[in-house]
Amino acid sequence: MDFANFLIQLLNSLQYGLLLFMLAAGLTLIFGIMGVVNLAHGSFYMLGAYMAWFLAAQFDSLVLAILVGTVIAVALGWVLEWLLFRHFYHRDHLDQVLLTFGLIYIFEEVRSILWGDDVHAVQVPELVNWSIPLTENLSYPVYRLVISAVCVGLALGLYLLISKTRLGMKIRAGAFNREMTEALGINIRLIHGVVFALGVALAAIAGMIASPIASVYPGMGSSVLIMCFVVVVIGGIGSVRGALVAALLVGLVDTFGKVLVPQIAGMAVYMLMAGVLLYKPEGLFKQ
């Protein structure tokens, strides 16, 4: 493999890993802080993508679609938490699994009713619809770099939020000791709402920004959910740092695995997970 090809694959793995991180961060935060597992997390990714396609067509601008879509996602997350999820924080994981599985069905049907079951393509915004030439024959799409940049920006924002702001401090306190945090007069319900909405928004944004390069199709939620779970298992539940490391690792292994050993293609990541399970059954960065 020559350097240009290697660079392309490396950039691809980075971009894939970062997108996975957006999803895994939300999932792991929600579980780490509220103790709830959400199988419908992939559905938010799917809804984000379909929303981007629909709104981009309405506004004739993907950027505007993403901005509006983010607001909708935050609102959706907030309402879902208030209406449903907050009543399940103390329930069995089994109940949570089933509840969110039921939600998957509901979201699938809502999407079907609103936007149908067809596969769609979303246009890359004109401004970034060009490629950087690497060699005579190879070039790399700028939009993919934009995706990575946006993810990095959001990841940085998340880091700053959690470690440098007072809200972040309250979130961390709530994860550590809920009763004490409440006793200190901090509105834990508000915190939970914020965290949940944040998680949903991250997943939806991932779906929205990825929509031009990954086609928009009904099953996209499930396939990304699995990878998300793998990332969380490898990284360790509740650890955002673990999610980042694991997501990048998964991105690398999956991308290079498919290129170097196509026979085992999709299996490489699972073999990685199996390996991690043998030595660290609770993830690399267990809390």
Partner 1 sequence: MSSPKATLELLPKSMQVLLGTGALALAVFPFVPVEGSAFYLQMLSQMMILAIFAMSLDLLQGVTGMVSLGHAAYFGLAGYALAFLTPADTPISLWWALPASALGAGLAALIIGFFVVRTHGIYFIMVTMAFAQMVFFLFFDNKALGGSDGLYVNFRPDATLFGWTGIDLENKTTFYYFTLAVLVLVYAFLRRLLFSPFGRVLSGIRVNEHRMRAVGYGTFGYKLAAFTLAGSLAGVAGFLWAAQTGYVNPELMGFHMSAHAIMMVILGGMGNFAGAIVGAFAFEYVMHFFKDLTKHWQLLMGGFIVLVVVLAPRGLLGLGERLLGKKEH
Summarize as ranges the residues that interact with partner 1 (CB under 8 A). Answer: 31, 37, 39, 84, 87, 91-95, 97-99, 101-110, 112-113, 222, 226, 229-230, 232-233, 237, 265-267, 270, 273-274, 277-278, 281-283
CA distances from residue 37 to 27, 106, 175 in whole angstroms, order as listed: 8, 17, 15
User: Can you give 55-82 as a three-state secondary structure string?
Assistant: HHHHHCCHHHHHHHHHHHHHHHHHHHHH
Cα 69 to Cα 78: distance, rounded to the nearest angstrom: 14
284 residue type, one letter = L
Nearer to partner 1, 21 or 143 (CB): 21
Report the nearest approach of partner 1 to the CB of residue 58 (Å): 24
**Residue closer to partner 1 (CB basis): 162 or 233:** 233
- Cβ 198 vs Cβ 29: under 8 Å: yes
- Cβ distance to partner 1 smaller for residue 42 or 69: 42
Phi, psi of 117 (to 5 degrees): -110, 10
Phi, psi angles (nearest 5°) of residue 15: -65, -45
Please state the closest distance from residue 260 (CB atom) to partner 1, in A: 17
11/231 with CB nearer partner 1: 231
CB 213 within 8 A of CB 195: no
Residue whose tokens read 């990954």: 214
Gyration radius of the chain over CA positions: 19
Q: Which CB, 99 or 249, lies closer to partner 1?
A: 99
**Which is closer to partner 1, CB of 186 or CB of 272?**
272
Q: How far is the CB of 10 from partner 1 (least distance, A)?
A: 24
CB 21 within 8 A of CB 251: no
Pairing of strands 139-141, 131-133: antiparallel
CA distance 79 to 229: 24
Give, for 137, the enclosing helix (H) or strand (E). Answer: none
Name the DSSP class of 183: H
CB closer to partner 1, 100 vs 148 = 100
Residue 77 or residue 236: which is nearer to partner 1 going by CB? 236
CB of 164 to partner 1, least distance (A): 29
DSSP β-bridge partners for residue 133: 139
The distance of closest approach from Cβ of residue 2 to partner 1 in the complex, given in angstroms and rounded to an integer, is 28
Which of 180, 197, 171, 5 minimizes the C-alpha distance to 83?
A: 197
Please report how close the Cβ of residue 182 comes to partner 1 at its closest, in angstroms. 24
